[in-house]
Structure 1
């Protein structure tokens, strides 16, 4: 949450708006959902397998939270999710494409070309098609209201690369091209903005084992000398998804402490 000094709080213009956060049952998604809720938005919390965690977050947020299942690999999932949101509040103002399907994309001690087709194809299709389908589903609603914000969560792996992450990186990089072109199309029909956020390795409530293994390496690369936590990344996402953001669109913004 942005604060000017210790007194004034920026008005994000999110009071009464409806936000869909995919993959909100844990990790970065949970922090993003909390951030929007703290600004007065109604938040649709999606989960794929962990309903219990999404329900816990909904209890924390209160009556401005709706829990809905969303599986990126299901072709009808996007339409069903948007219908549920519209039935709940009659609007969708912000979409945060945060959910991810990791897939089976690595062969231990082996090169990327040995990954079986069903592994890498599934990773590409779910992550790219899932985000694109959901963006397509909310676009007519945003155009009709002449307001909307799309924020796609990518990864610094898409820009920096990582051995073993070839197909995940390819899927995330695809969001960059889609978002930049969508920004031009949507912007012609109102105050509708589309951006990509690239977090680096971030401390969340679900990745302690990864931070333990690689945190020192990435902390040393960061200008701030440490890993960011989930709330710090979520703050950038909330700003980009808010009415306070009036002109940032078509951008891919890295949020990793200056690594």
Structure 2
């Protein structure tokens, strides 16, 4: 199938590893020009760019820093003069201290609002920034990467789940606005627990329990999630918009 992505420009946030790496490589395989954003792992992002080849640009992006959003858009337009696809994949996880076993009501006020704001506002801010370019060309694709935590829940995932659920509401309403401005589509991909190159500890610990609930009886790997993301963001997708697509192996 011709995805119609050859020569188009795609921004993938959080592309230095994990699911973002697989998504970026998927677009590269389709001949797209791929902008890979990273927060701290510049060397990892550069390695992904080398895997893609000469059609990759590495740009730093901080979800919590509005000026960095403008810098990503400016660098992309300076590079190719167009923005066709945005994949909102980057996240801020919040505290990762394993010794801090806190319930959501015990998380200090200086932590949880910042995590919510970075994840929600960061994705929405970049979506707002690229939309005028898509409206002008009357073509574009937004794909927001969510999580099964948004609908299934998980102890300790209250604020992360809330942030991801917010993307569902935004994408659904944005689809109506964008669809009236041309061939511009907005969707959410909601993965379950997925094997990536960065989460072996998590999948080793929880993989068996999770896969026992899946129709396929196993975890998906990152490439299996990246495929649907690339399709939804492609010219081959002409009618799917405003949807939340579960890609979880049937959980």
TM-score tier, shorter chain, comes to over 0.9
Q: Is the 8 A contact 1:180 1:250 kept in 2?
A: yes
Q: Is the 8 A contact 1:104 1:120 kept in 2?
A: no
Hey, what's the Cα distance between the residues in 1 that align with 2:51 and 2:150?
33
TM-score (norm 1): 0.95
SS of equivalent residue, structure 1 residue 68: strand
Question: Is the counterpart of residue 237 in structure 1 residue 226 in structure 2?
Answer: no
Question: Is the counterpart of residue 48 in structure 1 residue 39 in structure 2?
Answer: yes
SS of equivalent residue, structure 2 residue 110: helix
Residue 91 of structure 2 is matched in structure 1 by 100
Residue 88 of structure 1 is matched in structure 2 by 79
Hey, what's the Cα distance between the residues in 2 that align with 1:105 and 1:167?
13
Hey, what's the Cα distance between the residues in 2 that align with 1:134 and 1:205?
26
> Which runs of 5 or more structure 2 residues have no equivalent in the other structure?
none
Residue 4 of structure 1 is matched in structure 2 by none
Residue correspondences, number:
250
Question: Is the counterpart of residue 36 in structure 1 residue 27 in structure 2?
Answer: yes
SS of equivalent residue, structure 1 residue 118: coil
Hey, what's the Cα distance between the residues in 1 that align with 2:49 and 2:82?
19
Residue 165 of structure 2 is matched in structure 1 by 173
SS of equivalent residue, structure 1 residue 221: coil
Q: Is the 8 A contact 1:21 1:95 kept in 2?
A: yes
Displacement after TM superposition at 1:110 (Å) = 3.3
Residue 208 of structure 1 is matched in structure 2 by 200
Residue 186 of structure 2 is matched in structure 1 by 194
Residue 7 of structure 1 is matched in structure 2 by none
Hey, what's the Cα distance between the residues in 2 that align with 1:14 and 1:36?
8
Question: Is the counterpart of residue 20 in structure 1 residue 11 in structure 2?
Answer: yes
Q: Is the 8 A contact 1:181 1:250 kept in 2?
A: yes
Displacement after TM superposition at 1:81 (Å) = 0.4
Residue 146 of structure 1 is matched in structure 2 by 138
Hey, what's the Cα distance between the residues in 2 that align with 1:117 and 1:110?
13
SS of equivalent residue, structure 2 residue 212: helix
SS of equivalent residue, structure 1 residue 236: helix
TM-score (norm 2): 0.98
Q: Which runs of 4+ in 1 moved over 4 A?
A: none
**Cα offsets for 1:78-131 (capped at 9, x unmatched):** 111011000000000000000000012888443211100111111100000000
Displacement after TM superposition at 1:143 (Å) = 0.2
